[in-house]
Amino acid sequence: MSVSPAAPPGSVPLNRLGEPLLRRLSGVLDRAAPGRGWRDLAQRAGSHGRVKLSSLELEQCSLKVLEPEGSPSWSLLRLMGERGCTVVELVEFLQALEHTEALQCLSPPGIKIVVQPDPKSVVSGRTVKLCCWATGHPFLHYQWFKQEKEVPHGNSPELIFNPVSVSDSGFYICRVNSDSSFVFSRWAQLDVCDLQGVSYDLQEQSADRPSAIDKVALLIGNMSYWNHPQLKAPMVDVYELTNLLRQLDFKVVSLLDLTESEMRNAVDEFLLLLDKGVYGLLYYAGHGYENYGNSFMVPIDAPNPYRSANCLCVQNILKLMQEKETGLNVFLLDMCRKRNEYDDTILILDALKVTANIVFGYATCQGAEAFEIQHSGLANGIFMKFLKERMLEDKKITVLLDEVAEDMGKCHLTKGKQALEIRSSLSEKRALTDPIQQTGSSAESLARNLQWAKAHELPESMYLDFKCGVQIQLGFAAEFSNVLIIYTRIVKKPPEILVCKAYVTDFPLDLDIDPKEANKGTPEETGSYLVSKDLPKHCLYTRLSSLQKLKEHLIFTVCLHYEYPGIDDSLDERKEVNVGKPLIAKLGIHHGFKENCCKSNRPFHTQASTPVAAEYYLSPNHCQPNSYPGVHHPNNAHSDHFRQPEACHCNVTLNVLTSRQEAWTYSSHIRKNNIPVETTDDTVDLGFSFSNSLRLSKKQ
């Protein structure tokens, strides 16, 4: 690539910045931790001849601390400006110091990067893409840099290497410009391995393999059912699959616990991300059933009993995906497939197109149930346990699923109980690892990326200053597309204050936050087991779930509680914070739905099935044989006696819980509520050779 680099914006001398901005920046540098303070900035700037400062000048800057309003950083910035240092150079120095807080002072509020470039490791000869997307200004310009050099043709949100070579390896950063301001992305490392020594056949295969215009995925995990048995595995399964798909360059929307209208609207938003040649993947974990060849996903607000009118038909979603002329349609349905005896409706669906791009991976066979493994409060579905081990393999999707099925077949625990079923119309070697092949940034690509980016915009970390001199950091992290973690910590406290504590409160009623579960000392106490290792330590944490229900801006209060020595009464200060609509809240999927993609309006009614006797629910030995796929089963009714067989090949530790008395109690509750439930066969023969810390239960 060769083109003359555009003149960099922001070449304004440092001394032309406004005084309020310089004061704010100086304050950040004055209190910075070692390695990021004003002296480190001076040393970094000193590597440039015209900005180099003498020892005497540095000493004069240091003495400013003795003045009432003196600031060493202010003096340093003034000297740098006098020597012609520009804003661009200052930003580069701060980037090298990784001083995020100082960089935020220079970032104008009108521009906000919502998708940061991720590091990539690829083999030479492939197509690779670095992405940086920003919002907040109608006219934005992008400039990519490799180290300090501008990348030729790097003037769009997507920096595409087609093909990528070893010489492209390095660190990249994107500068987003408006007419009068700019902001930098974070650094992203591109690591390219040489193909030397790889056979010609492999290179030829790599050149001829299929590619995707883009790859998007919608992951839904339903657990907290209002009228039906609760589940545990969907949370872990959705989280793990999200991380795996992101490594395969999928744009992932991951959602937990959706009502019927929310599920339908989420699917509508997912369809907006699809286009000709795009790979689309839908994963669902939760209650489900299959009637007359049609699969139904059950929302958390489904009535008791539920029927097709209360659920989403997967085949209807497939039809709409086909209309987008997608390059690949993958459905991974982690749910039961037994027939719903309470649903006497046969849906008359429009015929699907004859296409060779459809793959269904069912967690279990027709008429069978799916199971989950529970361990230390968390759970994994049997299907996901084996799928995640092979998800990143570079193989045709049907071959990959075949190998997952073989792995599941070796697990003695579920042999005869659960087996993966694959349905496919693929005629090409399409894989989830296929590269994204895109020669430019089309209008469709830009719209798709911005639509996805809207659902993943996090509030920026902020610092709140209170009158008493305490400063609090307020940070945010995303656990799922509709689950936000807020963490607070005190970063500055005057020595005269003995004790102080900051907590968040007064959340919108839409989110239904239990105060007892907020402001906890560890993420695990809030229910956030999955992201705890990625969050900063020594904070108070609050988990906000169901962000899709947020109708207005997320406004809450930060309260500071502190005490002075010798004063019995404690003092309080409060600050209201408005962070807009974070993550999925921007898409407004809480709104009511229309007769749309997932709902058929042409039902055909058959004669209702004869009600099953109440005793049917009490005996796990009397599962009614039926050739039709059936109703979804709860995860509690199990036998209380098990044999100790040989070791299971799945290498986990299981212990099937719930005694016969517990099953009786639960079955009585079922009869009262008329839930469409069937039990499994006698579970005496289910094998386990594991510790008591885990348990196996019916997932759905």
Q: Which residues pair with 328 in a beta bridge?
A: 279
Neighbour count for residue 332 (Cβ, 10 Å): 22
Which residues touch 175 (CB under 8 Å, ≥6 apart)? 8, 9, 142, 143, 144, 145, 182, 183, 184, 185
Residue type, 205: Q
In the block, tokens 């991974």 appear at 332
Report the distance separating Cα 659 and Cα 641, nearest Å: 8
User: Does the active-site annotation cover 141?
Assistant: no
Are β-strands 182-184 and 158-161 bridged in parallel, bridged antiparallel, or unpaired? Answer: unpaired
CA atoms within 13 A on the CB side of 510: 17
Whole-angstrom Cα distance, residue 8 to residue 88? 8
Strand segments, DSSP code E, in 58-136 are: 112-115, 120-123, 128-131, 133-135
Identity of the residue numbered 564: Y
Catalytically annotated residue among 336, 598, 623, 650: 336
Nearest of 212, 280, 210, 214 to residue 429 by alpha carbon: 210
- CA distances to 283, 377, 653 from 363, in Å: 11, 22, 21
Can you tell me whether residue 291 is helix, strand or coil? strand
How far apart are alpha carbons 582 and 448 in whole angstroms? 19
Candidates 274, 249, 125; CA nearest to 192 is 125
Angle between helices 382-390 and 233-247 (to 10 degrees): 10
* Catalytic residue list contains 287: yes
Q: How buried is residue 495: exposed, middle or buried, by Cβ count under 10 Å (0-12/13-18/19+)?
A: exposed
Between CA 310 and CA 264 the distance in angstroms is 11
Distance CA 270, CA 627 (A): 34
Contact 478, 583 (CB under 8 A): yes
Please provide the DSSP assignment of 34-51 as one string. Answer: TTSSHHHHHHHHHTSGGG
The 3-class SS string of 372-414 reads EEEECCEEEEHHHHHHHHHCCCCCCHHHHHHHHHHHHHCCCCC
Question: Both tokens of residue 670?
Answer: 């079922």
Q: What's the token pair of residue 297?
A: 């996903």
* 622, 639 Cβ separation under 8 angstroms: no
Cα of 56 vs its chain's centroid, Å: 52
282: β partners: 218, 331
- The beta-strand segments (E) located in 147-238 are 149-150, 158-161, 170-177, 182-184, 188-193, 215-221
Beta-ladder partners of 131:
158
Angle between helix 72-82 and 55-62 (nearest 10)? 140
Q: Give me the active site residues, please.
A: 287, 336
